[in-house]
Amino acid sequence: MESFTVHKGVAATMDRADVDTDQIIPKQFLKRIERSGFEDFLFYDWRFLDDGSPNPDFELNLPRNAGASVLIARRNFGCGSSREHAVWALENYGIRAVIAPSFADIFYNNCFKNGVLPVQLDENLVQQLFDAAAATDVYRVEVDLEQRTLTDGAGFASQFDVDDFRRRCLLNGLDDIALTMQHEDKIAAFEAQR
């Protein structure tokens, strides 16, 4: 898993509450067994028109959001089914952080296990981000996990909370397997005794 320390990038706003995992990655694309290749299907039903062409009105298709690596959304982002594929699709697309007032619990946990930082901020602060994004052509933010800060270089600055264990894992790029492999010597010693 790629580590996350400080990330600077274009932030796209998604002015929608209750974005569920079936919208993030529709069920017909869950047949893949790899964790890669899901970027083409991210927000598929919103991102593309019925003929398969890009929907010019969808947030990630707007020229101002080209190359967006941070997503700012409304409350309850990632609700719905527990599919880990939703985070895979975001990460495959290049989204490194999602900022919202609240997240569905399973989605929130899956983010940390897959190198995407979910930043939970008060609704008033999220509204400030939406307002700042609307006032500029291309909105950029800096998410600093080491300092637990979010800034935009134009006056917005906020601290955010993140559990120390999850923070350490992201800073060091440790997923569940990498965490287990830190005990490889003990595992080998145990297996040798059996």
d(CA 60, CA 108): 21
Going along the chain, which residue ranges are E strands?
Answer: 6-14, 70-73, 97-100, 117-120, 140-144, 149-151, 157-159
- Token code pair at residue 166: 């999850």
Residue with tokens 């440790």, as numbered in its chain: 174
pLDDT at 183: 66
pLDDT at 106: 96
pLDDT at 176: 74
Q: Print pLDDT tens along the chain (194 aa).
A: 899 999 999 999 999 999 999 999 999 999 888 889 999 999 999 999 999 999 999 999 999 999 999 999 999 999 999 899 999 999 999 999 999 999 999 999 999 999 999 999 999 999 999 999 999 999 999 999 999 999 998 999 999 999 999 999 999 988 777 666 766 777 777 778 88
pLDDT at 177: 72
In sequence order, the 6+-apart residues with CB closer than 8 A to the CB of 54 are 47, 48, 61
Determine which helix (DSSP H) or strand (DSSP E) holds 45, and give its type and residue range.
helix 44-47
pLDDT at 189: 75
d(CA 12, CA 73): 9
Q: Could you give all domains of the chain from N- to C-terminal order, each with its CATH number?
A: 6-193 (3.20.19.10)
Total residues found in the chain within this entry: 194
Q: Do the Cβ atoms of 111 and 167 come closer than 8 Å?
A: no
Q: Tell me how far the alpha carbon of residue 92 is from its chain's centroid.
A: 10
pLDDT at 190: 79
- Token code pair at residue 139: 């909105």
* Residues linked to residue 150 through DSSP beta bridges, in sequence order: 143, 158
pLDDT at 194: 80
